[in-house]
Amino acid sequence: MHISWKKLAIALAILPFVVVLAAWIGFFNVGASSGHWKITEWFLHLAMRSAVRTYALAVDVPEALPRHAIQPAAGHFARGCAICHAAPGEPRSPVVMRMLPQPPDLAGTVGEWSDAELFRIVKHGVRFTGMPAWPTQERDDEVWAMVAFLRELPSMDEATYRDLAYGERLGTAAGATETLPQALADCARCHGEDGFGRGPAIPVLAGQSEAYLLESLRAYAEEGRASGLMSLPAIAAGPQLWPDLAKHFAALPATQPGGSGDPALVRRGKEIAERGVREANVPACLGCHGRQDRSPLYPSIAGQPAPYIETQLGLFRAGKRGGTRFGHLMANAAKGLIDDDIRALAAYFSRSAAPSATATR
Considering only the stretches 25-33, 86-94, 224-232, 258-266, report the one whose residues sit in contact with ligand HEC under the rule CB under 6 A.
224-232
DSSP characters over 75-95: HHHHHHTHHHH-BTTBPPPTT
Neighbours of 178 (CB within 10 A): 12
The angle subtended at Cα 143 by Cα 88 and Cα 58, nearest 5°, is: 125
Q: Which CB sits closer to ligand HEC, 261 or 283?
A: 283
Q: Give dist(CA 313, CA 336) in Å, integer.
A: 11
305 lies in the binding site for ligand HEC (CB under 6 A): no
Work out which of 66, 103, 167, 192 binds ligand HEC, going by CB under 6 A: 103
Q: How many positions of this chain bind ligand HEC (CB under 6 A)? A: 68
Of 36, 59, 105, 129, the one binding ligand HEC (CB under 6 A) is 129
Chain centre distance of CA 347: 24
Residue placing its CB nearer to ligand HEC in the complex, 17 or 210? 210
Q: Which stretch binds ligand HEC (CB under 6 A): 13-21, 27-35, 55-63, 123-131?
A: 123-131
Residue 106 as a binder of ligand HEC (CB under 6 A): the answer is: yes
Q: What are 282's strand-pairing partners?
A: 277
With beta carbons less than 8 A apart as the criterion, state whether 285 and 272 touch.
yes
Decide if residue 148 touches ligand HEC (CB under 6 A): no
Which of 250, 214, 253, 272 is CA-nearest to residue 353?
253
Q: How far apart are CA 115 and CA 147, in angstroms?
A: 7
Rama region for 149: left / alpha / beta (φ>0; ψ in -120 to 50; rest):
alpha
- The contacts of residue 338 (CB under 8 Å, 6+ apart) are 280
The residue (of 25 and 77) whose beta carbon lies closer to ligand HEC is 77
Given 164, 229, 354, 359, the residue binding ligand HEC (CB under 6 A)? 229
Chain positions contacting ligand HEC, by CB under 6 A: 48, 72, 75-76, 80-81, 83-85, 99, 101, 103-104, 106, 109, 112, 118, 121-122, 126, 129-132, 146, 183, 186-187, 189-191, 201-203, 205, 213, 216-217, 225, 227, 229-230, 233, 237, 245, 272, 282-283, 285, 287-289, 297-299, 301, 304, 309, 312-313, 323-324, 326-327, 329-330, 333, 345
